Amino acid sequence: MLTENDVRVLQAERLLAEVVGFETDEVVRHALGSIVTTYRGTRFIDFTGGIAVHACGHGHPEIVAAIVEQAASVLHVSDIMRHTPQLELAHWIGDLLQKHHHGSDWQFQFMNSGSESIDTAAKLALKATGRKKFVAFEGAFHGRTLFASALSRSKYAHWDAYEEFLAPLRASIFHVNNIGGDGIPRLQDSMAALEELLEQEGSNIAAVFCEAQQGEGGYVPMTKEAGQRLSELTNQHGILLISDEIQSGFGRTGKWFAFEHLGIEPDMIVFGKAVGGGLPLAGVAAQRDLMERWKLGEHGTTFGGNPVSCAAGLAALRIIERDNLVSQASYHGEYIKQRLEPLIGHHGVVDVRGNGLMIGVELQTSDGLPDYLRVERVKIAARNQGLLFLTCGANIGKLDVDNSTIRLIPALNTHEEVINEGLRIFKEALEVD
């Protein structure tokens, strides 16, 4: 085990690429439930959940036990042989979808990361439809592979550096544009633009990628009317509807999947984050008749859906179901929103939004502009008092104005007293100038 001094030396050597902006200079020593402690001895309440991964909190003992047990029996076989954790997980998610009346004949392609799974869904959509173009929404975030970056429009920095290379790819991707004057994409207003686009291009478009609640774009839920219209339009033009549930899936929004808030039935579901119980795991669910359009060898992975990640994921999903964490997310989400809504109109807070435990608190300047500078100051003030949270919010044009919304994504099973302690720190931090 490293000492605090060892850690200081390692940090000084600057081993890690600085392209990733860590939230703090501290080094984690221990993480359990919703509490993270560091080598310096700082205790943090974690409202980031490992970026919406830890539905059951850090280090849940049943997930850890499942990992240990699986690692001791089969660690990795790749696609040499099928293995029970992956089969059981596919069976479990298929059953869940069926139980909730989302169709009965799902097949699964497991991968390692959300971004890879977005590429996977796009490859399948190309094969299945024979069409060559895609639609995504302004403010979307679908990941960091080159295709997923081209599909994303939330953070300027995510794609600007690669713009020249991405330009030809972007020629095949339409972004339905509806950024409001405040920089926030209003998904409900995008449907008229989508309808117009599809009148011209409908027969060339393989799929529309949507987030029922945008993540990086500012925690903006789509309205039910917009979702219904989206579904009608894609059906009408024979376009596949792909729901990106990588962040919102498996209970986070107070339903198993965020698309359930809209009453729509996507053709493909892309999932990730929580599904691995803290280990890297993601994938695509599609009806068998779509998956069958792939010929042998047209897609694959070495590590995707590996036994240990699947065992961890299966343990996590069983805990979510057994402990009613989906309804708990809904209940705690409403509780947090009720506590925060009275702040609207104070300290620059203009909106408190989101479903379940995927809550955004948007700040604006007195001139009605996205106040990313204050958001940053509030985040630092909260961190100094022992609360970690992330930020989100779409860019506007070429301005570097990305993060004007505070995002709160605690574990679904966070205890009420920890939530209250976090909210107290958060409210005090909002008072910072």
Ligand X SMILES: Cc1ncc(COP(=O)(O)O)c(C=O)c1O
The span from the first CA to the last CA of the chain, in angstroms, equals: 41
Q: Which is nearer to ligand X, 202 or 280 (CB)?
A: 280
Structure tokens at 15: 């081993």
Give the separation between CA 73 and CA 197, rounded to whole angstroms: 53
**Spatial CB neighbours of 98, under 8 Å, sequence gap ≥ 6:** 104, 106
Q: How far is the CB of 52 from ligand X (least distance, A)?
A: 7
Q: How far is the CB of 394 from ligand X (least distance, A)?
A: 13
Quickly list H helices, 13-151: 49-52, 61-73, 84-99, 114-129, 146-151
Other Cβ atoms less than 10 A from the Cβ of 37: the count is 15
Helix (H) or strand (E) holding 283: strand 282-287
Ranked by CB distance to ligand X, the top (closest) residue is 114
Q: How far is the CB of 308 from ligand X (least distance, A)?
A: 17
Q: Which is nearer to ligand X, 144 or 339 (CB)?
A: 144
Specify the long-range contacts of residues 168-172, CB closer than 8 Å, at least 24 apart: 172/132, 172/133, 172/134
Query: CB of 390 within 8 A of CB of 21?
Result: no
Q: Which is nearer to ligand X, 315 or 409 (CB)?
A: 409
Q: How far is the CB of 338 from ligand X (least distance, A)?
A: 26
Q: Which is nearer to ligand X, 202 or 215 (CB)?
A: 215
Structure tokens at 393: 């919010």
- Binding residues for ligand X, rule: CB under 6 A, are 51, 113-115, 118, 141-144, 211, 215, 244, 246-247, 272, 282
User: What's 254's DSSP letter?
Assistant: S
Q: Which is nearer to ligand X, 218 or 272 (CB)?
A: 272
The dihedrals phi and psi of 357, each to the nearest 5 degrees, come to -100, 45
CA dihedral 415, 358, 403, 340 (to 10 degrees): -60
Q: Which is nearer to ligand X, 51 or 167 (CB)?
A: 51
Q: Which is nearer to ligand X, 142 or 229 (CB)?
A: 142
Query: CB of 402 within 8 A of CB of 156?
Result: yes
Q: Which is nearer to ligand X, 70 or 115 (CB)?
A: 115
Give the separation between CA 206 and CA 204, rounded to whole angstroms: 7
Spell out a b/e string for 100-126, using b for 16 or more CB atoms within 10 Å of the CB, else e: eebbeebbbbbbbbbbbbbbbbbbbbb
Q: Which residues pair with 65 in a beta bridge?
A: none
Q: How far is the CB of 253 from ligand X (least distance, A)?
A: 12
Q: How far is the CB of 406 from ligand X (least distance, A)?
A: 16
Residue 373's nearest CA partner among 393, 344, 354 is 393
Q: How far is the CB of 13 from ligand X (least distance, A)?
A: 27
Q: How far is the CB of 211 from ligand X (least distance, A)?
A: 5
Q: How far is the CB of 27 from ligand X (least distance, A)?
A: 22
Q: How far is the CB of 407 from ligand X (least distance, A)?
A: 11
The dihedrals phi and psi of 219, each to the nearest 5 degrees, come to 55, 55
User: What's 246's DSSP letter?
Assistant: T
Q: Which is nearer to ligand X, 136 or 350 (CB)?
A: 136
Q: Which is nearer to ligand X, 275 or 375 (CB)?
A: 275
Q: Which is nearer to ligand X, 52 or 429 (CB)?
A: 52
Q: How far is the CB of 412 from ligand X (least distance, A)?
A: 16
Extended beta strands in 319-357, E state: 349-355
